[in-house]
Every structure is written in C-alpha cells, then in structure tokens.
Structure 1
Amino acid sequence: MRGVAAALAVGGILAATSACEASPAAAHQPGADLVATRVSPTATPTLASTASVSLPVEDYLLKNDEHAEMLYASKLLVRQCMARFGFDYAVDPGSRSPVDPKGDAANMARRYGMSDARTAARYGYHLPANALPTPPADTRPMSDAAREVFLGDTPRADGGGVKVRQYKGQQIPAHGCSGEAERKLGKGLDERLSESINDASFQQSMATPQVTAAFRSWSACMRKSGYTFGSPLEPLRSRLSASPSASEIHMAESDVACKEKTNLIGIWVAVESAIQKSLIEKNQEALTQERSTARTTLDRSAKVIAEGASS
C-alpha cells in the first residue's frame, strides 16, 4: 500500500522514486482491469514538447501539494503517537512544501524522455537545479525500539521481524503509530489504482504499432546526428558527468529536434491518452471512490495541520 510505504519513507526506512519509467509498476488493484485492447486514438496532435500536456489519469492522481499535505499531516500524527512512548519523531516543516506544488504526478516533463528545447540547451539531460528534491532535515535512522513502536504488528514485507504489541507495558496501536495515523486520516495516500493505470498505460503504449513506428523514425533521425538509440528513454539512462557537458547538450538538443521532426510526442500522447481513457472507463467506479477517499483525507489532513499550528 502506498500509504504504508509513504509512512515508512517518512521514517527513513524506505527510499521513494517518482520517475515513471524508472520506478517499478504500482501494485495492481485487486479486480482492476488494466489491459486496453484494440485502442486507437481518434486524433493525433502535433506537439513539440509536453509543456502544456496532461493525461486523462491525472484527474485521479494526487497532485504534489495534495500528497505533501497528507504526508505532512501523517507525520504530525505519528509524532504525537511516538511521543506517548517517549520517542522524539522529527518533522521537517519544509516537507509540507514540495519543490513543484502543482507538478503533475504523471512526470510529464520526462515521461517521454527529454522534450523541452530550452532545458536541453541549458542542462542537457540533467535536472534543473530548482527541480531537485530537498533532502529531509532529519534523516537519522530509527532505533530498533522506535521502529517497533512505529510499525507495531504490521506484517513485514520480508516475513521477518517481531510483531510487537506492547512497549514498556503500554499497548501499541494496531499496526503501530503509522497505522494509527492512517486510521485517523483515512486511506487517501493509497492511490494504487490510478497509479497502476498511469504505469500500465505507459508500458502498453510502447508496444503499440503507432509508437514503435515513431520510435523507429526518431532513431533514424538520431543516427543522422551520430547517435544510436532504440528508444527515446535510453538517453536518460546514460551516465552523466557532474555538470552538463557540451557533448551532452548537443545530444539532448538533437534528441528534442528529432522528437519534433517525427512528432513522436504528439503520437505518444495520443496513443497513451486513448489507452488511459479505455482503462478509466473500465474502472470508473473504483477511481471515483478513490478520489472521494483522497478528498476526505485532504479535509482531515487540513484539520490536523491546523490543530498542530494552534497547539
């Protein structure tokens, strides 16, 4: 569950990644239909970049500021719970404000590889300085005792660990302080279905005839500039120097120019949008419920944060 994973990341136990193509696919929602068959876009836009593009599933994915608000409220509740057991659980106020508050959870800036000419000309494939995540102010690992109170009797992913239910004679909440926080806020941080659709559509789009043909056209264009890549995602995996080099910038600029020449972005967006619309239609009821749950958690999070500010 994303809610538990997020809570664990707060404690420095797990590391999170947001890159769509680099992250493992989200766990499939039980009973979800995540296969789009015989999908064909009705129209293909001409796009030079993804700057003004949004995908259908973004209506259901949490925005950066929404996720940060929920996670911050969860941290405050965990801190209150941990304090009852004598543990100091640090909460960084800065974590409430993400680098890009309204940024899209679909990672459109890099979803289809490098697509912005200005960014390529200045940074190559490096991330702009203002897009880099700020590390938490306190990343000290939890002690074993604090971890047990944090997790309580939560089943461990590896099947190991002791399922602790008491600490120094005091009853630990079900699933520890992380479980208590989730029960108070609700499951708004758990958006597995929308994330699964986000991942599934991306993977399925790359197997469609339209996108694979666009890949071939882009690759042929890149060969004329002296670069051999089978996929526009491959350059993102290249080993980068500490700062953008002239050769890296040239490759990134060629990459973007070839995408524009072949309309790869327009084709890919059209195909993936069609896939997502199909998957959303198949799972509409569950997605609507998921978004309703998120709104409830957002409301509760706002109250927790307001109470924390006034105390």
Structure 2
Amino acid sequence: MSGERGTTMADAVLRGPLTDALRRVRRHSGVPLAFGGVVEDAANLRLKHFVGTTVGALDGVAVDVGHGLGGKVIALNRPIVVDDYLKTPRITHRYNQIIAAEGLRAMAAAPVIVDRSPIAVLYGALHTTDPIGDRTLQVLATEARAVEQQVVAARAVVEHDGRTPEVSALRDRLAGAYAQLRLVARELDDAELADQLQRISDSLLDGARSTEQPTVSLTAREVDVLASVALGHSNARIAETLGVTAMTVKGYVKDAMRKLDASTRLEAVVRARAVGILP
C-alpha cells in the first residue's frame, strides 16, 4: 500500500498548499500528528503528506471511499471527529491495524472541496482518547478552506496563461519565498541586511515584467498584502502576519484592485503578475 508512485496533476497543485496547511494545523491545534491525502480518483484517498511524529505505517495507504475516517469524510463531504478511532461505531474499521501501529486514537478530519467535490482530506490526530476539541476542528476546517482557495487560484492562473500544474506549483513556492523575504526585510533593524534581502526579493521578479502591459504603481504595503493574497491567505491571516487589522488589509486589497483595474482578488493577482509586480 506504500512506495514510490508517479506524481499526478493533483499532487503537483496540492503538494505545497497541503504541507503548509498541515504545518499550521499542528502549530495552532497542538496535535502531535497532522497528515493529509489526495483523492486520486472516485474510489480512494492516498495518504502521503505528514507533519509530526509518525512511524510510517500510514504513508502511501489508499483509503477507500466510505471506509475509515477519511473515506467517510469524502462520502459525506463534511468534517468528522472520533474520540477513539479503534472503537467508535461511526466508521468502519478496515484500517484499525494501521492506525494501531501508528499509536493513534482520537482523530478529526476535514475535506478540501472544489467544485462541490472532495479533492483532499486534512487530519489531526492524538495518541490518546482525549476528546478532540472544537479548536482543532475549527483549525482543520479553516486550513481546508485555505487550501481550496489556493487550488482555485492556481487553476485560474493555469487557465489564464496556459501553465502546467507543475509550473504553477513552482510559482506558488516562488511566491511564498517572495512574500517571506519582503516581510523579513521589513522587520530587520539592520538597514544594510534589510536592503540586501529587498534586492534578493526584487531579483525574483527578473524577467517577469511585460512590455505589453502598462506600468502600475503599488505601495510597498499593497505589494506585501497582494503577495499574501496570491498564496490564498485570508484578510484575517494577512492581518495577523503584518500586525495590522483585517479592515486595514481590506483597504490595501481594495486599493490594489483599483490600481490594477481588477474586479476580484484573484484578478488582481493575475494582473500584478502580468506587469511584473509579483513573481
């Protein structure tokens, strides 16, 4: 049930967003293991993304729709919590031996849904039968929505410029590095080092500018916000990262959209990339 397998288009689009989401799930909920799988076809969910303590028993496991926790989540298209995976009557127990090998008990899972169909599942698991709190379920649901936004945004970019999912996934990682470099540069007290980081982030835009598009001038803060929007982040999350209010972020997004003549956040990102403001 495990081993090397070819990378599917879904894998290419989801790999980065899923791993990032799982890191946040573990950090914000405190679960010792966060993991996820991609729906490969209408029949199964392949587990292949892990953040936290694992013995590897789950790696590569194909979960059939309707069975186990993830399979039921896919079948019902909604989050589910079980206080003891090995004994709960809410799910089938086809995978008990694997779950026992991992030493997992209480568990929650939430689907990532695009176009009304599940494309992935995020899990948070404990090694005890302590009840999974509302906080953990909320974190899972929030991160599932964030992944959905990133997938939709990546797909729109593919449709807009004809890039393959693999190239779009690479662009997402580049966009993430660009956003992080800008934020770190702003927080440094060392002006010389901050300037050096700024030059590095600017170098990521080399070759991105298009002579066919008019030049658009955004403020540094508008670029910071738009760089986070490109990663599928919500206004609340951007506000937390930048240390401002969600209303302030909303204002920056609105101003950037106006300057870029965009009617949606996604359109603003696409146009910003077209004129070389974002990588």
TM-score (norm 2): 0.29
Which structure is higher in strand share? 2
More RCO (CA 8 Å, sep 6+): 1
Mark the structure with the bigger radius of gyration: 1
